[in-house]
Amino acid sequence: MTWRSNTAISAVPPVRPAVSPAGANLVPTRIPGVLIIEPRIFGDQRGFFFEAYQAARYAEYGISRPFVQDNISHSARGTLRGLHLQYPSCQGKLVTVLRGRVLDVAVDIRIGSPTFGRHVAVELSEANRRQMWVPRGFAHGFLVLSETADFFYKCDEFYRPSDEIALRWDDPAFQIKWGIETPILSAKDAAAPTLADMQGLPIYGKC
């Protein structure tokens, strides 16, 4: 699978994907721990096949905690879900798109992190089959670019509503180029605070 640069990938360097022994393209980003994974796809006249997750192989990438919950969301064009995280019950997410196309974003908000406030943005779609690993302590969100999108999350911690945190999607501190001025938001996301107004954020190395 060929790596294609995209102006929306504001924090991903133009690096050549490394081919793992298992055959997937592993694309490092400018934030250590945030990964883009391009599964090896086998296709013929019948369709295609690929491994969306294999525990031993993903452990080689540093994704070693067991997954305990899978989630699927369906959203219309222009919907923006985020920016969300859990704390103190931190949650890592392996995310991908089953149908449609989204701009997916991970933001490092770990207090004391060398990359605090920086983000990775990448397009995920049913065409490129990319996955993004969003480590614990990162805020996550996505914008739907297609008519609709089905978004799939594998989580390494259970969803705990009492620990959910929302941050403002267009906070100038993050400098995310969403490419939209008035997305469709939930009431909670529309009222989310900025990073400067937020207390009780994850601590680097302790999430």
Residue 206 lies in a domain: no
Residue 176 lies in a domain: yes
Report which of residues 94 and 1 the model is more confident about.
94
What CATH number does the domain containing 105 carry? 2.60.120.10
Beta bridge partners of 13: none
Q: How confident is the model at residue 41 (pLDDT cuts 50, 70, 90)?
A: confident
Closest CA to 186 of 84, 83, 81: 81
Mean pLDDT (the chain) is: 90
pLDDT above 50 (res 140): yes
**What are the pLDDT digits (tens) for 51-64?**
888 899 999 999 99
Residue 130 lies in a domain: yes
pLDDT value, residue 23: 63
Report the domain count for the chain.
Answer: 1
Q: Look-up: residue for tokens 């369709």?
A: 47
Residue 151 lies in a domain: yes
Token duo for residue 38: 């391009």
Range of the domain at 181: 18-41+49-197
Residue 5 lies in a domain: no
* Least-confidence region, from 18-32, 83-97, 148-162, 170-184: 18-32
pLDDT above 60 (res 74): yes
Mean pLDDT of 45-52: 88
Residue 204 lies in a domain: no
pLDDT above 90 (res 48): no
pLDDT above 80 (res 3): no
To the query of whether residue 159 is one of the catalytic residues in this protein, the response is no
pLDDT value, residue 51: 85
- DSSP string spanning 85-152? EESSS---EEEEEEESEEEEEEEE--BT-TTTT-EEEEEEETTT--EEEE-TTEEEEEEE-SSEEEEE
A 10 A CB-CB count for 77 gives 15
pLDDT above 90 (res 22): no
pLDDT value, residue 50: 85
**What are the pLDDT digits (tens) for 144-191?**
999 999 999 999 999 999 999 999 999 999 999 999 999 999 999 999
198: burial class by Cβ within 10 Å (0-12, 13-18, 19+)?
middle
Q: 3-class secondary structure for 21-90?
A: CCCCEEEECCCCCCEEEECCCEEECCEEECCCCCHHHHHHCCCCCCCCEEEEEEEECCEEEEEEEECCCC
State the catalytic residue, choosing from 74, 140, 153, 159.
153
State the catalytic residue, choosing from 58, 74, 84, 119.
84
Q: Can the peptide bond before residue 88 be classed as cis, meaning omega within 30 degrees of 0?
A: yes
First to last CA, the chain: 33
To the query of whether residue 84 is one of the catalytic residues in this protein, the response is yes
Residues 192/107, Cβ–Cβ less than 8 Å = no
- pTM for the predicted model, two decimal places: 0.86
Residue 94 lies in a domain: yes
Token duo for residue 154: 């594998």
Residue 13 lies in a domain: no
